[in-house]
Amino acid sequence: MARTKAARANLKAWATRANLADVAYGTSRGVSLIGDSVPILKRASAKGLKGRVQLVFTSPPFPLNRKKKYGNRNGEDFKKWLASYAVLLRDLVTPDGSIVVEMWNAWEPGKPVMSTLALESLLEFKRAAKLFLCQEFIWYNPARLPTPAQWVTVERVRVKDAFTRLWWLSPTPKPKADNRRVLTPYSSSMRDLLKKKKYNSGRRPSEHAIGRRSFFSDNGGAIPPNVLTFGEENVPESVLAGSNTSSSDDYQRFCKRFDLEMHPARMPLNLAKFFIAMCTDAGDLVLDPFAGSNTTGAAADQLKRKWMSIEADEDYANSGLGRFPRLAQHYRMPRS
């Protein structure tokens, strides 16, 4: 099947010619667009992007009890709103493409009780587009503040909520993926085992039978679990490709220098890189319809993937330029 102009062209130039939306900025691999993602995605689909996205990686505005500038919804409104994107995004991905959605936990207003809204919303999204749940991931963030504060730090009846879940969904049970791209460094004990070629084989209490040579092969690293932390000792080497500069530090310096408001819900660059590395090849297209500070675009660019990001808030969209140091150095404050 012939590739569309969108797939082979400079995406910034293509988006401009296709009149998709206002362009915040772009690189040779991708473009950041400003506006409501629904009409933009519909126009992009009609202009040739349908069935061409290899990975949708996104973190929609979470259903928090406190209203945020980035437009979070609550309750049934949130569930219906998220589900309205399901078919649209499914039709944009390739037959073996993936959709990865990050979702924070939610709590019942005024009660030390967790809401099931996040899970219900993900299930509704899955059902609406008849997607397969390939795997659930947990991103554990030890640096999270002790929230919900009333129940954790004031009344001391709960512990801090320190993880978000990510659902890896696809229109097929077997999307493009390769866990060899996200191997983590072997532990010191495993390195010692590989060197000495000696360990206790036999049947374990779990009833698994471990052969005498089962762990003698050096496969270049350990298969990571579906609980992700991204400490220095367990970052897959593949996600460290590209710039050694911390994108988050670049972003914060840029926002402070030009007095731009920073997005309050930023994910780590390595979280996006993990899924981009595992689910795409160089040159594939990655899409984020709720881009925020454009962590996804920066991660994709560093891993030599094409990318398109969409952010409704113009200030947040423009602040994402700070994740691209070569572009940011030419930025000039608009005259008031």
Domain residue extents for the chain:
5-181+225-322, 186-220
Tens digit of pLDDT for each residue in 211-224? 777 677 788 899 99
Residue 114 CA to residue 106 CA, distance in Å, equals 6
Local confidence band at 25 (pLDDT 50, 70, 90 cut-offs): very high
**Confidence bin at 333 (pLDDT 50/70/90):** low
The CA distance from 19 to 325, in Å, is 27
CA distance 19 to 128: 29
Q: Is the pLDDT of residue 246 over 80?
A: no
148-164: b (≥16 Cβ within 10 Å) or e: beebbeeeeebebbbbb
Return the pLDDT at 242: 39
Fold of 5-181+225-322: Rossmann fold (3.40.50)
pLDDT value for 1: 34
User: Rounded to an integer, what distance in angstroms lies between the CA atom of residue 26 and that of residue 246?
Assistant: 20
Distance CA 267, CA 146 (A): 18
Helix (H) or strand (E) segment spanning residue 107 = strand 106-107
Q: Name the residue with tokens 């969409």.
A: 310
pLDDT(113) > 90 = yes
**Interval 67-87: pLDDT, tens:** 555 455 667 889 999 999 999
Crossing angle of helices 295-302 and 269-279, rounded to 10°: 50
Query: What percent of the chain lies above the pLDDT cut of 70?
Result: 87
Please name the amino acid found at residue 69.
Answer: K
pTM for the predicted model, two decimal places: 0.88
Q: If phi over 0 gives left and psi between -120 and 50 gives alpha, with beta otherwise, what is residue 268?
A: beta
Nearest alpha carbon to residue 113 among 158, 62, 154 = 158
pLDDT band at 240 (very low <50, low <70, confident <90, very high): very low
- HSE, CB side, 13 Å, CA atoms: give it for residue 266: 23
Q: What is the residue whose two structure tokens read 């991103």?
A: 139
**254 pLDDT more than 70:** yes
